[in-house]
Amino acid sequence: MIDPVEENAPGSEPGDEVAELREALAAAQQQAGQHHDQLLRTVAEMDNVRKRTARDIEQAHRFALEKFAQELLPVRDSLELAVASAGAADSTSLVAGQEATLKLLARAFERFAIQPIDPLGEPFDPQRHEAMVMREAPSAEPGSVVEVVQTGYELNGRLLRPARVIVARSPESP
C-alpha cells in the first residue's frame, strides 16, 4: 500500500494541496455561477425575441388586412351610391356605375395578387376547378372546360375558390 504522504510532490505539504483545491473549487463555483447567470439572461432574451416576433407577425397581419380594407372602401362607396340613386337613375347610368364598381374591385384584387381563374377551353383540373355537370360538346375536346359558371380565384398562386365549370364529354359517353 502507498503512503498518502509519499504521493505529494517533494516539498509540498498536504495543507498546501487542500488550499489549492479549495481555491480551484471556488474559482470553478464562481465560473459556474457566471455561466448560470449568462444562461438565465440568454433564456430571458430568447423569450423576449419570441414575444416580439409574435407581436410583429400579428401587427403585419393586421396591417395587411387594413390595406385591403382601405382598397375595398371605394367599392362599398360606389355600391352605396348605386343603391341610393337606383330609383332616379336610368339603366344606362346604373350599368356604367356597376362597371366602374367592378373596375374598382378588380384593381383592389390586382393590388393584392388575387387572380381570377378562367379556364374556358382548358383541360379540366380537379385541383383548380369544380365540375358542375358534363355536357356533350362535339366541337370541344372531351374533358375540357366548355363553360365557366363561376370564376375561381387564387391568392399568390394559392387557391381561394375553385372555378365552377361545365366539362365537355364525348357524344357516346353516358
- Is 61 or 169 the better-scoring residue by pLDDT? 169
In a domain, residue 132? The reply is yes
User: For 16-67, what is each residue's pLDDT tens digit?
Assistant: 899 999 999 999 999 999 999 999 999 999 999 999 999 999 888 878 788 8
CATH code, domain carrying 124: 2.30.22.10
112 and 144 in contact (C-beta within 8 Å)?
no
Tell which residue, 110, 124, 107, 104, has the closest CA to residue 155.
110
| CA atoms within 13 A of residue 89's CA, in its CB half-sphere | 14
In a domain, residue 124? The reply is yes
Q: How many residues does the chain have?
A: 174
Question: pTM of the prediction?
Answer: 0.61
Percent of the chain exceeding pLDDT 70 equals 92
165 and 149 in contact (C-beta within 8 Å)?
yes
The domain in which residue 154 lies consists of: 114-174
What is the per-residue pLDDT for 174? 55
What is the per-residue pLDDT for 11? 56
Q: For the chain, how many structural domains are there in total?
A: 1
Q: Which amino acid is at 161?
A: R
User: For 112-144, what is each residue's pLDDT tens digit?
Assistant: 999 999 999 999 999 999 999 999 988 889 999
Q: Which amino acid is at 73?
A: L
